[in-house]
Amino acid sequence: MTQILFDDIGSYPLPRGILLDGLSPDAYAALVRDCMEQKLAAGVEVPTYPQFRDMIDMFMKPIEAPDESESPYIVRKEAAEIEELNALEPLAISRGEPLRLRVCVTGPVELYLSAFGATSYTDILFNLATSVARFLERAKEVPFLDVTVASLDEPSLGISPSIIFEEDDLTRALEIASEPCKDIDCEIHLHSPLYAELCCRVPGINIVGVESAAHPDYLKLIDRSILDETDSYLRAGIARTDILSIVAGLNDRLGLNLWTDPKRLEMEISRAESPSILEGRLSKIHAQFGDRIRCAGPDCGLGSWPSQELARGLLFNCSQALASFRQRAGPS
């Protein structure tokens, strides 16, 4: 059995009492490193650089800045930096080896929707895709990083009624964006499986991820034979991250308001998303997809969770679940 990598989607809660506004560059860099250390300590094998900033603004601001673009919606390569990656250099140096990580860039469709909504200017979509590719190219060139997985974040694909592009145009945009990923794993992070087959047929993308912990029925819409045919893989969501829905269900069942009792909240979340439950989810997904699973971890990012302690606990439970699953499954 091919070993399943434990990765995460990226976003993470800020420490209590900390706001991004007013933080100095050095303080922000220290915040990023501390978060990455938390992810590594929790057992995440291919952690995403910590995403504290808005997933649209962090890419669109340089793309739209006149002095950082070479033409409309095409960022200059030297301006296509993800500042969080530079913050990780001291951490990589202290570990004595390149830091293995997952680099996530907001995808061209998501960026397009944020600026143009329900329109279909294909030239702009393709320009945005070129910019996405440049962010990935620059990330791969950072000497102290080992970019093991690249990811295109496209949560609206298959959900938003504002997407009116033809499928050929969507395919072409994703081809352009994933061009730098030919020698590494490239994941697309979806919130719906409706475009999973289209994504599998994009040459640069070889892993499709959907929110299968919160929505296990989504996996019924992914055809194992398509994964085999296209030599594609699945990213399995094994831990729910829809914190509002989780807590609403717990409050209803327990007759409590867990939001007013952080310690009880942490205990109940740990029970609801325990290692044994997460391992059970992974086992069911493995029974359906076998060696077509490449990565596993939480459904989505944890930025909306109320504390870093709670988020770190969920990542640790994922790590325990994967360790137990591997032990039962035997050597890879």
- Give the chain's mean pLDDT: 94
Cα-based angle 48, 50, 55 (whole degrees, multiple of 5): 95
C-alpha distances (whole Å) from 172 to each of 119, 202, 204 are 17, 8, 11
Helical axes 275-289 vs 308-329, angle rounded to 10° = 50
Q: What is the pLDDT of residues 4-51, one digit of tens each?
A: 999 999 899 999 989 898 899 999 999 999 999 999 999 999 999 999
Residue 78 backbone dihedrals phi, psi, to 5 degrees: -70, -15
Quote the number of domains for the chain: 2
Count of alpha carbons within 13 angstroms of residue 196, beta-carbon side: 24
Whether residue 228 is contained in a domain is answered as no
C-alpha distances (whole Å) from 114 to each of 18, 188, 199 are 27, 18, 21
Whether residue 253 is contained in a domain is answered as yes
Whether residue 185 is contained in a domain is answered as yes
Q: What is the pLDDT of residues 88-127, one digit of tens each?
A: 999 999 998 899 999 999 999 999 999 999 999 999 999 9
Residues 238 and 324 in one domain: yes
| Residue type, position 330, single letter | G
pTM of the model: 0.93
Residues 75 and 148 in one domain: yes
Whether residue 247 is contained in a domain is answered as yes
Which residues in the chain land under pLDDT 50? 1
Residues 187 and 264 in one domain: no
**Which residue range is the domain that position 272 belongs to?**
234-332
- Name the CA radius of gyration of the chain, rounded: 19
